A and B are shown apart, each in its own frame.
Chain A
Amino acid sequence: MIRDSMFREAIVLGAIATLAIASWSLQPETAMPITPATISQTTPAHGGKAAARTIELEPATGAVAAQTNRSIDRSRQLELPDGTFVEALNDAVDAAPIAQYWGTGAWSPIVAVERSSAGIDWYRHENGSFSTTQMVWRADLGRHLAMTRVAHVGPEPAPAAAATATRR
């Protein structure tokens, strides 16, 4: 029984190795093309112009941006990918640097602060992305903790599937 099992395993492993070698050697250069990233992270914001209650900001060198003195208390600031800081929004404390959640697209500078109808302040970025920080209740930790949130503009949604839910 054990010998049968070992024999079977040896055959399978050998087959994998053979397949891998054969596939590598047979693989044409055009095989398995990977579509380049074209997610529209550089397209304009939804709807273009900012809504009401918008505070236009200077570029990263401006008033709210870079102070690089390491002795400054950064707990109420948000670190940007270039190492500069802006004020954290919505009274967030110890928010994670935005680079952790920015994703694969190129960094886009902050150009404004907008308050949503839900009362949340967001940074608007030059490319139409938004980002924010906010304190949320973490029942698992028993305290409030800051979140760092990034929203990039995505492609046109696929059609809505109104009548296709499947209860089983």
Chain B
Amino acid sequence: MQPLRITTVQLALSVAAMAQTNPFVFFPQDPERQTITAASFVGRPDLANAAEALMEIDEAYFQGIGDANGPDRLFGVYHWIADEKLSTVETYDLVIRNGLPTGGPDMSAGAELIRISNLTSPPSPSQQRGTWIMNEGFGLQGGLLVNYVNGPQTTPKYYVGVDLPANPLWPATDGHALFRADLLNANTGATVGENHRAGAPDPTWAGIANGQSFSTPWTYILGPVVTSPNLHIGGVDPTSNRLGAPGANLSMNGLFPDVSNNPRSDGITVRITDNIAPQGLVFLGASLGFQPPVFEWRLQGILIGHSHIGRQPISLDISALNNGEYDYSVALPGTVPTWMIGQSLVFQGIVWDTGITLAEWTNAQVVLF
């Protein structure tokens, strides 16, 4: 095994970064390519109070998001602004911060990996509520490096979010909220949203400055912007209408499927997306649990990133992206045996841009049966 190392493949990274970027969002549906029908509500992390809406990125679930040959390189934040009154401009901060060793976000100023303050929404003459799909870029020179040896990230979790100021007008007459999908145990009366097995942990947090932060039982349309291709695992529960449409839940259902056969026996899919090489070749593999990261030195300058599925993963498929998306059915509903409960499988892929002979690892994600 090669140790994680920061190597300079400027040419390769520059070529990749010049084209487009990919938002890594953990939400039941792909907000760039699918109609959003699974949004339970638009909401704020702590009602009308000031709080950070934080997406938790946990190494136990995801590795290699934005892998730039060692560090994860984040190029911005993607989020949807739900504004109750478009004509009044909304003000917010973007923040990426460390976690506490005991769990949850570290809300100290020293734990902020980046904070961009006082951003505002676009102008509009409309007095109505509406949505802005925000893609906010730090630029190639401004990429934030996290998750590498001796880097600023000190815990296996970091948090990507939008810091909302207090707004007593929300939601009655004005205010900024985020699209969210509620967990089954959120007790909010949501008819659509997440669809996971019982006991799954909360995936997001309300980060409270000078107060007690708390986890929140929903996912947001929110995430870091990266230049590597993204991989998500989908869960398919044909007995549920929580998605609001046919298909796979690409967030909590894929991470925490219910295969108890009592009564659910979810299917599993893998989805890879990439705006940079939208017709690229795809190689998909898997392993039993995360493996120590492997850098393929023989392909230095050609293959960006690390394998988190070992040197000899289970090879599942060779195919191609179709307009930036690729879906693969690992197991149909009703086919995963109950003795798989307790096992963990990790999936990861490579997208090869044949036009410039440059390939990149996707992130790796686990499915916890």
Per-position 1/0 for A21-37, Cβ under 8 A of B: 01110110001111111
Which residues of chain B are within 8 angstroms of A32 by Cβ–Cβ distance?
Answer: 234, 236, 247-248, 269, 327, 329
Once the chains are docked, how many angstroms separate the CA of A162 from the CA of B41?
9
Which residues of chain A are within 8 angstroms of B332 by Cβ–Cβ distance?
Answer: 22-23, 26-27, 31
Which residues of chain A are within 8 angstroms of B40 by Cβ–Cβ distance?
Answer: 158, 161
Once the chains are docked, how many angstroms separate the CA of A13 from the CA of B133?
41
Question: How many whole Å from B224's CB to the nearest CB in chain A?
Answer: 13
Of A55-63, A64-72, A142-150, which stretch is located at the interface? Answer: A142-150
Contact (Cβ within 8 A) B314 A158: no
Is there a chain A Cβ closer than 8 Å to B177's Cβ? yes
- Indicate the member of A24, A27, A148, A154 with the most B CB atoms within 10 Å: A154
Interface residues of B in 110-135 (CB under 8 A from A): 112-117, 119-135
Which residue from A33, A50, A96, A155 sits with its C-beta under 8 Å from B247?
A33
Question: How many whole Å from B298's CB to the nearest CB in chain A?
Answer: 25
- Report the interface size for chain B: residues with CB under 8 A from the other chain: 109
Is there a chain B Cβ closer than 8 Å to A76's Cβ? no
Q: A100-B18, A155-B131, A168-B214 are in contact. Are A38 and B35 (CB under 8 A)?
A: yes
Is there a chain B Cβ closer than 8 Å to A2's Cβ? no
Is there a chain B Cβ closer than 8 Å to A156's Cβ? yes
Which residues of chain B are within 8 angstroms of A49 by Cβ–Cβ distance?
Answer: 125
Contact (Cβ within 8 A) B139 A165: no
Contact (Cβ within 8 A) B329 A103: no
Which residues of chain A are within 8 angstroms of B209 by Cβ–Cβ distance?
Answer: none
Which residues of chain A are within 8 angstroms of B139 by Cβ–Cβ distance?
Answer: 94-96, 100, 145-148
Once the chains are docked, how many angstroms separate the CA of A140 from the CA of B177?
27
Which residues of chain B are within 8 angstroms of A114 by Cβ–Cβ distance?
Answer: 122-123
Interface residues of A in 1-28 (CB under 8 A from B): 9, 12-13, 15-17, 19-20, 22-24, 26-27
Contact (Cβ within 8 A) A37 B34: yes
Once the chains are docked, how many angstroms separate the CA of A36 from the CA of B323?
11
Once the chains are docked, how many angstroms separate the CA of A16 from the CA of B336?
9
Once the chains are docked, how many angstroms separate the CA of A135 from the CA of B20?
21
Question: How many whole Å from A101's CB to the nearest CB in chain B?
Answer: 4
Contact (Cβ within 8 A) B41 A46: no
Which residues of chain B are within 8 angstroms of A146 by Cβ–Cβ distance?
Answer: 139, 142
Per-position 1/0 for B207-218, Cβ under 8 A of A: 000000011110
Once the chains are docked, how many angstroms separate the CA of A76 from the CA of B121?
22
Of B64-72, B83-91, B353-361, which stretch is located at the interface? Answer: B83-91
Is there a chain B Cβ closer than 8 Å to A118's Cβ? yes
Per-position 1/0 for A109-149, Cβ under 8 A of B: 00000111110101000000010100011111100011111
Query: Which B residues have a C-beta under 8 Å from some C-beta of A?
Result: 17-21, 29, 31-37, 39-47, 75-76, 80-84, 86-89, 91, 112-117, 119-142, 144, 152, 170-171, 177, 179-180, 182, 186-189, 202, 206, 214-217, 225, 234, 236, 245-248, 267, 269, 275, 286, 288, 314, 316, 324-325, 327, 329-332, 335-337, 340, 343, 345
> What 6 A-B pairs come out closest when comparing CB atoms?
A154-B131, A47-B126, A161-B41, A160-B171, A96-B139, A130-B122
Query: Which A residues have a C-beta under 8 Å from some C-beta of B?
Result: 9, 12-13, 15-17, 19-20, 22-24, 26-27, 31-39, 41, 45-51, 94-97, 99-104, 114-118, 120, 122, 130, 132, 136-141, 145-168
